[in-house]
Amino acid sequence: MINAIDTHFHLDLYPRPADLLADIENNRIYAIAVTNTPSVYHFTQKICENKKYVRPALGLHPELAEERYRELGQFEDLLKTTRYIGEIGLDLINRCPDSSKTAQTKVFQKIIDLCATEGNKVLTVHSRGSESEVIERIGKNYPGKVILHWYSGSLKNMELALSYGFYFSVNSSMCRSKNGRKIIQSIPDSRLLTESDGPFITNKSMVNSPLNIDHTIAHISEIVKKPSQEVSKSIYENFKAVLESKNLR
Ligand SMILES: [Zn+2]
């Protein structure tokens, strides 16, 4: 059996994180537990201690950047405690006030710079309404691994991200949307990853989690017209490649 992979879910936002964590570990699902601010990271870091499959990620969500700007110092202090960084990025969807845009940009740029200096981080990045800006701010030859989470931009920007070596994590919502399916068909096998983005996504009234990533695999295999075993294997190999990479500057 090939291990399932979930590179973006919010463990701390489920009603019973410890129980879910135990289930994920028992099912041997490799997962990156993203967090939305440095002040809540401690909880996820603590419960993931000594766990084999779930890794805690330090983040500062773009939609909280303005309100939690002051936590950047904490972010910096905690940077050495994990190799995984997320949720970070930009969200410049319509009617985003200028003050939010300014804060988001400052926070994101600072995080990118800190992670580049440290080197070898794995970033899971939000880019809604800001794809080209996110891709360009990270840039090519970034000394780490970049996973664009729930990418919803143009194929042109996607090509650019691919040329920079970025990966794409696909979730069940993308499988259900027309644009999402188009994106999934264009992701090369060697850059495909899966995510649940649970508990934010529900699927037929079931809350997404790493435990039901197999549904997403089945859906992707229909979309790309390849056997699900083959799809799972590529995703597993890609995750391994991300973890094994050592591009320290
Ligand atoms: Zn998320």
Q: Tell me the CATH number at 17.
A: 3.20.20.140
* Residues facing residue 144 across a β-bridge: 121
Binding residues: 8, 10, 87, 126, 149, 197
**φ/ψ (deg, to 5) at 48:** -90, -5
The reply to whether 249 falls in a domain is: no
- The domain total for the chain is 1
Q: What integer pLDDT is reported at residue 217 of this predicted model?
A: 97
Radius of gyration of the chain (CA): 17
Q: What integer pLDDT is reported at residue 202 of this predicted model?
A: 86
Cα–ligand 1 centroid distance for 10 (angstroms) = 6
Range of the domain at 147: 5-244
The reply to whether 109 falls in a domain is: yes
Binding residues for a divalent metal cation: 8, 10, 87, 126, 149, 197
Cα–ligand 1 centroid distance for 163 (angstroms) = 24
What is the rounded CA–CA span in Å between residue 132 and residue 189? 22
Q: What integer pLDDT is reported at residue 97 of this predicted model?
A: 87
Cα–ligand 1 centroid distance for 175 (angstroms) = 16
**φ/ψ (deg, to 5) at 238:** -65, -40
Task: Please give the DSSP secondary-structure letter assigned to residue 2.
Answer: P
Cα–ligand 1 centroid distance for 197 (angstroms) = 5
Cα–ligand 1 centroid distance for 15 (angstroms) = 16
Q: What integer pLDDT is reported at residue 53 of this predicted model?
A: 97
Q: What integer pLDDT is reported at residue 247 of this predicted model?
A: 55
The reply to whether 188 falls in a domain is: yes
Cα–ligand 1 centroid distance for 202 (angstroms) = 13
The reply to whether 58 falls in a domain is: yes
Cα–ligand 1 centroid distance for 149 (angstroms) = 8
The reply to whether 195 falls in a domain is: yes
The reply to whether 157 falls in a domain is: yes
Token pair, residue 23, equals 């289930």
User: Strands 206-207, 202-203: parallel, antiparallel or unpaired by DSSP?
Assistant: antiparallel
Q: Tell me the average confidence (pLDDT) per consecutive run of 10 residues in the chain, 249 residues long.
A: 95 97 98 97 97 97 94 96 97 86 96 96 97 97 96 98 98 96 98 96 88 96 98 97 73
